[in-house]
Structure 1
């Protein structure tokens, strides 16, 4: 939403509303407008107001010079956070914050921007738990990239009483500097555009500043030239106020630039040099200015005495600042290039922080200088160690711009850009570098990075092409070779069938690549790489029909380095959770993936968290908790959208579609499936369409549209000979395909699928395969008229269901069993079986399957005594009422109104000849 302010002070109501909103949850108030319009004044007034309301305020006043120092704004915001609170962070997060605050160096585990962001979010939420907390940031357009990334991460996750109070100078093209400010609801962000002041308001401002008014004619001239901008108006009035004699009335400067030039350009000699030096630094002190000038602190104070009196600078203790950012920018802009270089050279000689010293050296240089390039390289490494890849990339780009354009720097800068989330810039640098690189390990690294960029956008075929080249280049660099082989295994599997061929050799190629990665890693002897390679092997072998290599999995788990930043397919704990889920041990899977979730949250690892939430949703889905599955699927989609990228949300959308289909939400499931199929068509990653097709097939079977089901699933059935292995993740569609084929009287084809499920289930002891295979074979046998054999298979399926906690699949088999019992005239048994299935589907909220069971119950039509002929709905209402449930609870469970419950109970009482629930409890066994 957008609010309009009448003056440069914020509307009292806007601040009041902001205070109220923060009491409820996350909210933001942003003041924007042109330079000098009074944003900082409005911001300070708002801070005073929220402090009066008892809020805690963490502040950062950002300047143009500060935009060069990584985490400058984050460090300012954390300046008043108690060290004891920081000490309570998890070890890795505490280390990241200590590095931001320059209290720790590069020793210890690697931290990066994501860990820093997660730690910052934890600290803010902890503060908000004790008092409403405001993050107050002035001049957000000058935020350094690392701080901006941390704030973007944190604000997206705010849940407590946290507010963001910010100012920004709106660009002329309408772009906003606070685009990173993304709260959970768009209306939680209020933007107030500060408008030019009226003549009356300007009069009040000038009287406050100068202690007297100005003649009407002069006031009108000031208003016209300033356009109502209070800073500009004050500076124009200062010109007039310094020359009050009528004969000496000066002409007013026509532009804001001239006003600034007049304020700062009057100083000469050493004073001008000190002001220029001041404009070059972010956190200036008298001591720093003295060291740069080669003077005493007393001399610096003496030089700035008149400048302070003129209101150009302010000295607060040892700190020196310009009174307005425009004065700092004007001072720097008006200096000649030679003077600016001299100032940066002087600062480089006294600056202690590696990043700032290197930047000063770069800005002082005019030609390629090896010493300066070395400083920039070292500063980039320092930034990288502090978990600031954006700053590292910027420093390397400075070196490239100064003539140090070497492939190595481009590759390193590309890696830093990719880590910082700028995949487009990483791709551009890598494309340029690869044109210059000769075969060898450096080109292999560049190819790996470029492949990672393509994998990020799900362009697996192109990634595999690049990685195949990298394998040759990495032959003499085992660490690079292991990473290349692992990435190639993953990309080759995900990119299968993209070229439309039906070659089966790709599976053996994948397996051989994964085995080679393990072999090279073992020879190298690096535990972390061994763990990753073994994990990739275990995962690859499993999904292609070789079962679980338990020995390799345990070795991978034992050697896993918890603090390593590795993709989820190479993380042993994550793959262990998947294997537990796919083999039916859902309780273990849930515990294991929760542990991975905690690790990812501590690291701020959004990309892996997207995968964690996606697979957590599937575990909940298979466990029958469709409500929880829906929440986790939605969270996975949300995280994917935050990551950006071209097709990052394909997997989360696929999972959300499956959950919607199980819940009977047809429109939502179809929309997500359509979005996935469209993205797959653009990316060319054919296999990523599999689950969307499975979901479409399942949805069609759920509504008994078997022609549509086969249309969706036939491509997957045809591909079975090309993809050995039908574990749950890949073979989930087989029972749906078999049921559709039986319903279309294609019994031989259905029998082949049954045989596949049963043989694989017996070979690897997969209870879900045995249950589904026996259910499907029961359908085939029943269609051929062998009801007794069909019943035996259905009962065998129920026995297998007892070994795996998948209630939806169990209820589905009960539906078939009830149908078979009805066909054998065992209507009492059929009614009981179907009623149990109905309870299960209703509890899960699987609406389409509820309707299917109710239809079968109606067909069963069990006849009792004339007084007890209850309809299926009356039967369910009676059973639930007998348990003590209220009418409202019964209505909620059966998706009917309380009034309908009352009507059904009345009919039940009449048919049974009873008058109360107590009697119903005694008679209920008679009507079951």
Structure 2
């Protein structure tokens, strides 16, 4: 287990610096975002300078992760020229290229040449003074710099230390696993971070091979205070029922407590028992129960206080550790505990605590005690204390008050508290005892909801189907059961029936006249409509929004504000959808709803991906994965893995994308939720197309193509795989199979006026035209697609259209125009980090044989826009001339103005002589 104290991690930094000798050494500090890695890195840099090190440092940045040799250039920027002069001619050329001092002329160099040059520089400098190579956030290293550093590290010698930090969650690989020094045992790898709830969960899972329920884990975390030893011992003592009321401590700890407390008996023992039988013991309460003066109680408690058992904090009695209190309670024995609870019930004024003491002090059912427990449970429900309410109902059941109604109430509260196992155990053994009709429907609905919460959708379906039938005469329950049934059907892939049930729920809710239920039913119906590619029912959604009432028990797919944000993004209004999803995610956090958090975060990651913010999407996905691991796996892990796979596919991280997709598909099948396999398949299909593996792409996408032969693909959410399928089919010459897909995109794009569908359809049409030799028509079609791109905030899609336009122009021997368009695509793919696609564009650029541009403060695309703007052309004219969108023109001009410190076109025109290609 990695060190979790900051002092230990600082010591690791000190050890690295203090141990520098003739052999290079490294320290890799890994951890989650915001955990303090950079603070440690800065500490190391400062300490190194204090100790006379020469520090070469770089802080890798996401925005620069696509710039070749960016990190290496930072490291070499301030190196003295005399050091570089000692390099070989080839190494100097390599370094000059890294530092942008020379172009492509001269002998070829690569990362190996540059790596050997960097190693030579470090070794030479280390002769004069020790060197610290400090790199922060290695996960953002551009791929070329990482390759250079890997080569250089294996060649290092002398007084060189490397201090690297990188983001990595507990289950992820080392962020610098590529780092290897000549002596392998000179690399120390440290993961930082406290033992959070997630860490405790992981630790207990690894130790016992089973995941405890989340409520139990939360209680263990609270009691142990994050102490792993106590957490493990508490985990051994939890019997799976209640972590609070009747869990017995392991005998080893009980014995430890007994040895420390056994000499306190009589009045002192009773006072200790009283103190550990209540949640917030006070001297006054103990005095009242013991019928002693307060001063006498303080005097008698002096002994336990001196022994370190407890301390008096004013009027409060505070045990040194909860385990001590629990041990005293356990060791007291049942009869003595019952007597104490009866005494406490006699003095307690608060209804819930009084009822609890009455129950714990009773040996059999008494009407007054049962009524007190029911009343107390209702009060707890009113305060939102579901777990407490469930425990109170369970106490009544355990005392002999076992009725179907009380079991239903207990199960409902267990479910609301997130304890699905106890909810099911409360109902399942006695299900046959529930009468037909509303009572049985309620029981079935609860069991179905519990199975859905456990991501067992096939298991939920028969229960909820029967619940709908049994609830025919109970309208409110009928709506609730029908909504659950619809959602389970959807997750199981039965989309038509799911939509039919959602529509039925709307009708039932309208008949009932319950606005809150009407809002939920309308919301789910709108969501399922859109998921099927149907037009969004705007009036229905507006009505659902008007009727929406805040309620944490309402699932996200049935919440109008969430459905509004999700479907808005599906329609292509990504920025508005993003704002709504961020707000919804914040609300889910505020509500503490893990299920809503996962649902909303999955869609949020999807929107970030469409916007080209792949690293952010990956971060969101990883957050979902962590949450899913804390919840015991299932649906959340599938969602997290899926969206990380998608982001990784765009970033060209083939290994991560394939593994995440594989795990996601397996998890979806395990949940019995084929619907969840769609996006992992889309990610894999896109990856194969990106890599040029068209046969493999079609094989992956075949299930989706078969499922959509009914033409139901009409919007971005269900149709994202279709452009990849079209490209693969055209590349393989299977034009007849591509035609209906293109026609569907065009048809539904026009009918719904969706820019994504229109651009995807136009690009597909141009591919068909080009494949049949009609290049002029293909070019014209792509011009129309570029107009639609102005309405679509999806930079990757624009660059993809530009890539094909460049290919069409090249095939028409319009090489200069092709190069212009391709360079813009290359810039966009580079900025997005889509390195595989940037490589594809680079290959196309090579085929154009167009003149290359040199390096300038302005990028090639910015120079082209600036030169035309300086002549007085409008943004629209520039866009037409360069085959780009007006928005791209605006973006480039803004950058030009900033870089050249000008404000107007006239000022730009005055500097026209500077706007030349090198």
Alignment of 1:327-346 (within 5 A): 337-346=334-343
Alignment of 1:381-420 (within 5 A): 381-420=378-417
Which of the numbers 758, 776, 780 marks the counterpart of 1:792? Answer: 780
**Alpha-carbon distance change, 676 to 293 in structure 1, aligned in 2, over 3 angstroms:** same
8 Å contact from structure 1 (residues 775, 794) kept in 2: yes
8 Å contact from structure 1 (residues 879, 924) kept in 2: no
- Which residue of structure 2 aligns with residue 748 of structure 1? 736
Distance in 1, matches of 2:749 and 2:610, equals 17
8 Å contact from structure 1 (residues 418, 426) kept in 2: yes
**TM superposition score normalised by structure 2:** 0.66
**Alpha-carbon distance change, 477 to 806 in structure 1, aligned in 2, over 3 angstroms:** same
Distance in 1, matches of 2:793 and 2:6, equals 58
Which of the numbers 425, 428, 432 marks the counterpart of 1:431? Answer: 428
Which of the numbers 637, 658, 662 marks the counterpart of 1:649? Answer: 637
Query: Is 2:653 the partner of 1:665?
Result: yes
- Which residue of structure 2 aligns with residue 729 of structure 1? 717
- Which residue of structure 1 aligns with residue 491 of structure 2? 494
Q: CA deviation at 1:327?
A: 8.1
Which of the numbers 368, 372, 383 marks the counterpart of 2:369? Answer: 372
Distance in 2, matches of 1:342 and 1:459, equals 45
Q: CA deviation at 1:307?
A: 9.0
- Which residue of structure 2 aligns with residue 453 of structure 1? 450
Q: CA deviation at 1:388?
A: 3.0
Distance in 2, matches of 1:584 and 1:858, equals 34
Q: CA deviation at 1:295?
A: 6.3
**Alpha-carbon distance change, 431 to 16 in structure 1, aligned in 2, over 3 angstroms:** same
Distance in 1, matches of 2:714 and 2:829, equals 26
8 Å contact from structure 1 (residues 611, 636) kept in 2: no
Distance in 1, matches of 2:844 and 2:813, equals 14
Q: CA deviation at 1:648?
A: 2.5
Q: CA deviation at 1:377?
A: 2.4
Query: Is 2:512 the partner of 1:524?
Result: yes
Q: CA deviation at 1:484?
A: 1.5
SS at match of 1:818: helix
**Alpha-carbon distance change, 600 to 829 in structure 1, aligned in 2, over 3 angstroms:** same
The total of aligned residue pairs comes to 675
- Which residue of structure 2 aligns with residue 682 of structure 1? 670
Q: CA deviation at 1:287?
A: 3.7
- Which residue of structure 2 aligns with residue 241 of structure 1? none
- Which residue of structure 2 aligns with residue 549 of structure 1? 537
Distance in 2, matches of 1:859 and 1:876, equals 26
Greater shift, 602-611 or 824-833, is seen at 602-611
8 Å contact from structure 2 (residues 467, 481) kept in 1: yes
Distance in 1, matches of 2:917 and 2:623, equals 47
Distance in 2, matches of 1:278 and 1:649, equals 43
Larger RCO: 1 or 2 (CA < 8 Å, sep 6+): 1
Q: CA deviation at 1:773?
A: 0.9
- Which residue of structure 2 aligns with residue 127 of structure 1? none
- Which residue of structure 2 aligns with residue 359 of structure 1? 356
Distance in 1, matches of 2:856 and 2:711, equals 47
**Alpha-carbon distance change, 437 to 357 in structure 1, aligned in 2, over 3 angstroms:** same
Quick check: which has more Rg, 1 or 2?
1
**Alpha-carbon distance change, 15 to 513 in structure 1, aligned in 2, over 3 angstroms:** closer
Distance in 1, matches of 2:9 and 2:859, equals 57
Distance in 2, matches of 1:694 and 1:312, equals 60
Q: CA deviation at 1:753?
A: 0.6
Alignment of 1:183-332 (within 5 A): 257=258, 260-261=261-262, 263-265=263-265, 267=266, 277-278=274-275, 280-293=277-290, 318-319=315-316
8 Å contact from structure 1 (residues 830, 860) kept in 2: yes
- Which residue of structure 2 aligns with residue 879 of structure 1? 860
SS at match of 2:532: helix
Distance in 1, matches of 2:740 and 2:488, equals 31
Distance in 2, matches of 1:770 and 1:678, equals 34
8 Å contact from structure 1 (residues 427, 453) kept in 2: yes
Query: Is 2:812 the partner of 1:831?
Result: no
Distance in 2, matches of 1:306 and 1:845, equals 68
**Alpha-carbon distance change, 836 to 310 in structure 1, aligned in 2, over 3 angstroms:** closer
Deviations 1:506-559 (A, max 9, x none): 61x333322221122122222221111111111122222430111001101111
Alignment of 1:468-867 (within 5 A): 468-496=465-493, 507=496, 509-722=497-710, 724-862=712-850
Alignment of 1:23-42 (within 5 A): none
- Which residue of structure 1 aligns with residue 130 of structure 2? none
Q: CA deviation at 1:738?
A: 0.8
8 Å contact from structure 2 (residues 456, 671) kept in 1: yes
8 Å contact from structure 2 (residues 533, 713) kept in 1: yes
8 Å contact from structure 1 (residues 379, 392) kept in 2: yes
**Alpha-carbon distance change, 881 to 721 in structure 1, aligned in 2, over 3 angstroms:** closer
Q: Point out where structure 2 has 5 or more consecutive residues left out of the alignment.
A: 15-28, 37-193, 202-212, 241-251, 867-908
Q: Point out where structure 1 has 5 or more consecutive residues left out of the alignment.
A: 5-10, 28-132, 156-163, 180-226, 233-254, 498-505, 863-868, 886-917
Q: CA deviation at 1:562?
A: 3.2
**Alpha-carbon distance change, 534 to 874 in structure 1, aligned in 2, over 3 angstroms:** same
Query: Is 2:210 the partner of 1:149?
Result: no
Greater shift, 375-384 or 840-849, is seen at 375-384
**Alpha-carbon distance change, 630 to 408 in structure 1, aligned in 2, over 3 angstroms:** same
**Alpha-carbon distance change, 458 to 331 in structure 1, aligned in 2, over 3 angstroms:** closer
Deviations 1:688-715 (A, max 9, x none): 1111111111111111110001001111
Q: CA deviation at 1:334?
A: 6.3
8 Å contact from structure 2 (residues 617, 643) kept in 1: no
